[in-house]
Amino acid sequence: MSNRRKFLRSSIFSSFGLLMSRKLQAGAPYVTMTGSPIVISTWDAGVAANAGAWKILGNNGRALDAVEAGVRVTEDSINCCVGLGANPDRDGFVTLDACIMDEKGNCGSVGFLERIKHPISVARRVMEKTPHVMLVGSGAQQFAVAEGFPLEEQKLSDDAKKAYEQWLKKSEYKPVINIENTKPKGHGPSAPAYLSNGELNHDTIGMVAMDAAGDLSGSCTTSGMGFKMRGRLGDSPIIGAGLFVDNEVGACTATGQGEDVIRICGSHTVVELMRQGMTPEQACKAAVERIIRIKGEKAKEIQVAFLALNKKGETGAFAIQKGFSYALKSNREEKLYTAKSWYL
Ligand code: GLY
């Protein structure tokens, strides 16, 4: 053990003896000062997802179980961008991507998965039951069915059908971004925001959480970009891009245009910047700035947002465009925040 680690352990031991012994038994690398559960997740849909996660976190459950249960709530709902009711690809098929990561660096992922309701749970099975990290396409579906996940009939939701029919009129292959947000400016609780077309303003659901033992986990699930090319994967199933967890430092998840998150290994970058001493918000902002440097003027046309949590229980977010909301739930608060953004 390094001298620094020894020093940290002994000084914390003297102040937090009881807590420390509990943490050591749990095998945590070092003690968090908070020991208090917290969950954050992307967009307005995060409020309901956090409530799902809190049923586990609030009962001293494990963060891994919480982040799976939390995003399953969104996968169950009818919305534009997550789960079987989401917008299809340009050929009319809903294809789903998801990944999950725990406090020990275990991770699992599925991509281009069709007709399975809970990709996040399949990703967890990949993590726990296979020697692999990632399964895609028909192989992922075959694995899911073998694991007992029912093969659902594809049936576009009314909203998705309408959106797809609208898109087919021009069949223009252009990313659609959620720039505008109709809710009040500034931080604090607010009602769900709707886009000008009436659609609920969110895309991928990414969630990161710390449990009462101070352990971190994260999850991320999406149908990806609406009307994407068939076979396209975004950042959400890619560990290090859509999600990254390092139990010594913190965790991050991303939302928005996946191609540009992948370009900078976004979530891993944010965690590494936190390791170097940045706060979660500073790290998210620095990652956004990298994308801005690469994209130049084209950055005006895209949305990417990062949402991070560090080992001390501090949270932060930053987006390219205004209008990115994230939900937070802890013992002290339950709120929907609006993140700061590069373009105002
Ligand atoms: N961030 C979701 C995607 O690009 O697929």
Question: Which pLDDT band, with edges at 50, 70 and 90, does 35 fall under?
Answer: low
- What is the average pLDDT across 230-259? 97
The rounded radius of gyration (Å) of the Cα atoms in the chain is 19
Query: Ligand 1, closest atom to CA 233?
Result: 5
- Which residue ranges make up each domain of the chain? 36-343
CB atoms under 10 Å from CB of 153, counted, come to 7
Q: Is the pLDDT of residue 32 over 90?
A: no
Query: Ligand 1, closest atom to CA 223?
Result: 5
Structure confidence at residue 80 (pLDDT): 80
Query: Torsion over CA of 156, 162, 164 and 167, rounded to 10 degrees?
Result: 180
Nearest CA to ligand 1 atom 5: 224
Mutate to test the pocket of ligand 1, among 136, 261, 302, 321 (most ligand atoms within 8 A of CB): 261
Structure confidence at residue 182 (pLDDT): 33
CATH topology of domain 36-343: Glutamine Phosphoribosylpyrophosphate, subunit 1, domain 1 (3.60.20)
Please tell me if the CB atom of residue 258 comes closer than 6 angstroms to any atom of ligand 1.
yes
CB atoms under 10 Å from CB of 93, counted, come to 13
Please tell me if the CB atom of residue 95 comes closer than 6 angstroms to any atom of ligand 1.
no
Cβ contacts of 48 within 8 Å, gap of 6 or more = 73, 74, 77
Question: What predicted TM-score, i.e. pTM, was given to this entire model?
Answer: 0.84
Question: Which pLDDT band, with edges at 50, 70 and 90, does 170 fall under?
Answer: confident
Cβ contacts of 330 within 8 Å, gap of 6 or more = 36, 37, 38, 39, 313
Distance 148 CA to ligand 1 centre (A): 27
Q: Which of 226, 174, 222 lies closest to 75 in space, CA to CA? A: 222
Residues tagged active-site: 204
Q: Rounded to whole angstroms, how far apart are CA atoms 202 and 196?
A: 13
Condensed to tens digits (0 to 9), the pLDDT of residues 60-111 reads 999 999 999 999 999 998 778 888 888 899 999 999 999 999 999 999 999 9
In contact, 230 and 241? CB cutoff 8 Å:
no
Return the structure tokens found at 203.
């895309």
